[in-house]
Structure 1
């Protein structure tokens, strides 16, 4: 009976002979491991010398490609043999093609190929229960993304994208299956595991949906709040429609999240204290918020204009070069935008609100400000920008009163008619 050599690449690289896992050292990004992984991934069909060199060394300039490859092959063979891999060469090279050394006493089993084979069987299977069984096996086998240590290498990216598509199909099938079976506990577990592997794939929305189906509204609401914060405050993008739909379903079912207003206040205070802590020694200036939050604040202020009895102006600041033209150099633009943001934080009052509108623009809500004061505010911010970025640093500004906006919109509508 043949002994199995098991090669794991999903979720990380490891080698096992039978039941024994080999010790490959602590440096999981070593080049000899990268070379070994490329060879094992291609299997007995092998990899060409050119592809192997490009995969290991990338675009790095080498004085002698052949010598560099031979030295690394020697290191890989030595280290793998030391770890317990059987064979004379371990990695065989013939006619410019490199492959795992064939030994009739051993079977190479690669989890990537195993996963692909099970997915193919599942796709071709007609019987629902057998199809479900195959997809369950595939799901259990997929421990994580392909070789995360080298996730940004081109040769890994090509394989990883293909495998992720297969994994998405697995998750989608199992999700639909458990939903039809009304097994909402398993439904949540499927999406929870998928989310741990690919946190930016949007599985959180499916998790919230599963929690709603489980009638675990409190946990669903907590997860929704976390997701909404991620989209608005970290990614600074609008909340996806699917997530909004989850909230609408939640709002129909959640009666009481908490009846302790002091607890709510404490959470708000903690968030404010965290913000102050992150600011460190910097003075707490105007309120910087995501554009979506800026819109909400804008609407609230407009509705309260009459009651407040104070004027509010919106200012648009646009970065330009010393000739008044858009800045073309992206690196320079990024640096200048950071300086403008700092200048706004320092130059505006605590009660003012501002947001990044584009890579070269910021929007500001100046509360309780007269029209003639806007030019003074511009001058103050401009001086600070020049202090930080040099005398040729410029930005232009435009202002509009919130009280004037309804009239502007009305005139525009009349012109369109």
Structure 2
């Protein structure tokens, strides 16, 4: 019993004599449970030097590389003198910050090396890497899941994020990020196989908080679907679809849209008679102006209208509004883009009827489906949109251009020919417009 206690005391003493260094998610150093306060005593260049030496420990780093990293194109002799002085000050600062006495940095044959033989150093990236290797080599599925979860917990974020512009930091960051993704993919595979979606969801959300990539968005949707959280899944899809359009001007991928369709079809409504359903479907009579919808819904409605055109005496036109700069080119990212885009949307809402439908299409465009009117009436509505936009737009270097096309009905032989075949995706032609096809360039403005 006494021998066991002595062993535990020795183990605790050894563990306490360790410098713990965090580089994932930010730089932090602790010794015996206490933070090593280096920020005030070290310049940014000295901190950079310390991180390079610690990260390269075991192999060391050549003086020429240190000079290049820290001083760039500075005079070689002057830079070398500055480096020697900096290393001298760094040794003193480490001890003044609370680390035990020691040399810490040695040099031999033009190679500088971290040498703290009197104290151990635990580097989080090394611990993370070892955990990843152990997890991926494990053959027993339940044990592998446990090790993978531990590896995910060790990954705290980007490698030295405040220095990410440096080449060596960027390369190391990519390496650890890829390891994290590898772990997460394997963990997702195993948890899906074991139908443990509730356990997978938090890891997926953690990944999305760092890297909002479509790969993890799809996994989250899959988790919510498997958990029968259909309404939450639909709301999540619509949220990320809106953000993708507003921030990046891109539509969701075909895979994401198909997943969305599948989830929508799984929603179970509690209404069970036609009167209740009809009341639920009834539009709000107090809403005025054009009806907005997401692009996926717009596609469904457009295709429906196309089929109706083949059976009824109904007319419809598709209008594409594009924000342009003073040279007549489509407006790309600019400080004013969000502002003028909102003004154009308000102009559309004010200018067309509730029976007309519109959607955002890309970062600088809107699509409007105008029904029950001829081409002249469509142009009147589109011109009204442009007029209202120009009246509200204070950015006179930015204008709006529209192109109008009749919605093409599928009738007669075309209808028979297409029966039983897949309907092709709706595409907006980018070919030059034919003469009198309905394209209106903006008026010249000063």
- Does residue 155 of structure 1 match 2:168? yes
SS of 1:145's equivalent in the other structure is: coil
Partner deviation per Cα, 1:309-344 (whole Å, 9 max, x = no partner): 8754222345667786x56x9568x86796476346
Within the candidate set 154, 159, 168, 1:141 is matched to 154
Alpha-carbon distance between aligned partners in 2 of 1:409 and 1:77, rounded to the nearest angstrom:
86
1:12 positional shift: 2.7
* TM-score relative to the length of structure 2: 0.64
Alpha-carbon distance between aligned partners in 2 of 1:292 and 1:400, rounded to the nearest angstrom:
20
- Name the counterpart of 1:276: none
* TM-score relative to the length of structure 1: 0.67
1:149 positional shift: 3.8
Structure 2 unaligned blocks of 5 or more = 1-13, 246-250, 419-446
Contact preservation (8 Å) 2:237, 2:260: no
Contact preservation (8 Å) 1:29, 1:149: no
Partner deviation per Cα, 1:16-56 (whole Å, 9 max, x = no partner): 22333323459999554444333322323234456556656
SS of 2:57's equivalent in the other structure is: helix
- Does residue 364 of structure 1 match 2:368? yes
- Name the counterpart of 2:429: none
- Name the counterpart of 2:351: 349
- Does residue 116 of structure 1 match 2:112? no
- Does residue 107 of structure 1 match 2:120? yes
- Name the counterpart of 1:14: 28
1:110 positional shift: 0.9
- Name the counterpart of 2:60: 46
Partner deviation per Cα, 1:151-202 (whole Å, 9 max, x = no partner): 5554333222221222223223333444455555544444444444444363
Contact preservation (8 Å) 1:319, 1:396: yes
What pairs with 1:85-234 in structure 2 (closer than 5 Å)? Answer: 85-87=99-101, 90-92=104-106, 97-100=111-114, 102-125=115-138, 131=144, 134-151=147-164, 153-200=166-213, 202-210=215-223, 213=226, 216-217=227-228, 220-234=229-243
Alpha-carbon distance between aligned partners in 1 of 2:304 and 2:41, rounded to the nearest angstrom:
55
SS of 2:179's equivalent in the other structure is: helix
Closer/same/farther in 2, CA of residues 288 and 396 from structure 1, 3 Å limit: same
Partner deviation per Cα, 1:229-285 (whole Å, 9 max, x = no partner): 133211132366367448747855x645799x9xx99xx99xx99xxxxxxxxxx97
Contact preservation (8 Å) 2:321, 2:400: yes
Contact preservation (8 Å) 2:131, 2:147: yes
Richer in helix (by share)? 1
Within the candidate set 312, 316, 319, 1:315 is matched to 319
Closer/same/farther in 2, CA of residues 29 and 298 from structure 1, 3 Å limit: farther
Alpha-carbon distance between aligned partners in 2 of 1:131 and 1:11, rounded to the nearest angstrom:
25
- Does residue 400 of structure 1 match 2:405? yes
Alpha-carbon distance between aligned partners in 2 of 1:226 and 1:9, rounded to the nearest angstrom:
36
1:116 positional shift: 1.5
Contact preservation (8 Å) 1:318, 1:395: yes
Alpha-carbon distance between aligned partners in 1 of 2:133 and 2:179, rounded to the nearest angstrom:
9
Contact preservation (8 Å) 2:208, 2:217: yes
SS of 2:410's equivalent in the other structure is: helix
Measured on the aligned residues, the alpha-carbon RMSD in Å equals 5.1
1:6 positional shift: 1.4
Closer/same/farther in 2, CA of residues 390 and 188 from structure 1, 3 Å limit: closer
Contact preservation (8 Å) 1:205, 1:243: no
Contact preservation (8 Å) 1:313, 1:400: yes
1:228 positional shift: 0.8
Closer/same/farther in 2, CA of residues 372 and 10 from structure 1, 3 Å limit: same
Partner deviation per Cα, 1:50-77 (whole Å, 9 max, x = no partner): 65566568x9x87998288678767765
Larger radius of gyration: 2
Closer/same/farther in 2, CA of residues 48 and 354 from structure 1, 3 Å limit: farther
Closer/same/farther in 2, CA of residues 69 and 240 from structure 1, 3 Å limit: farther
Say how many residue pairs are matched. Answer: 384
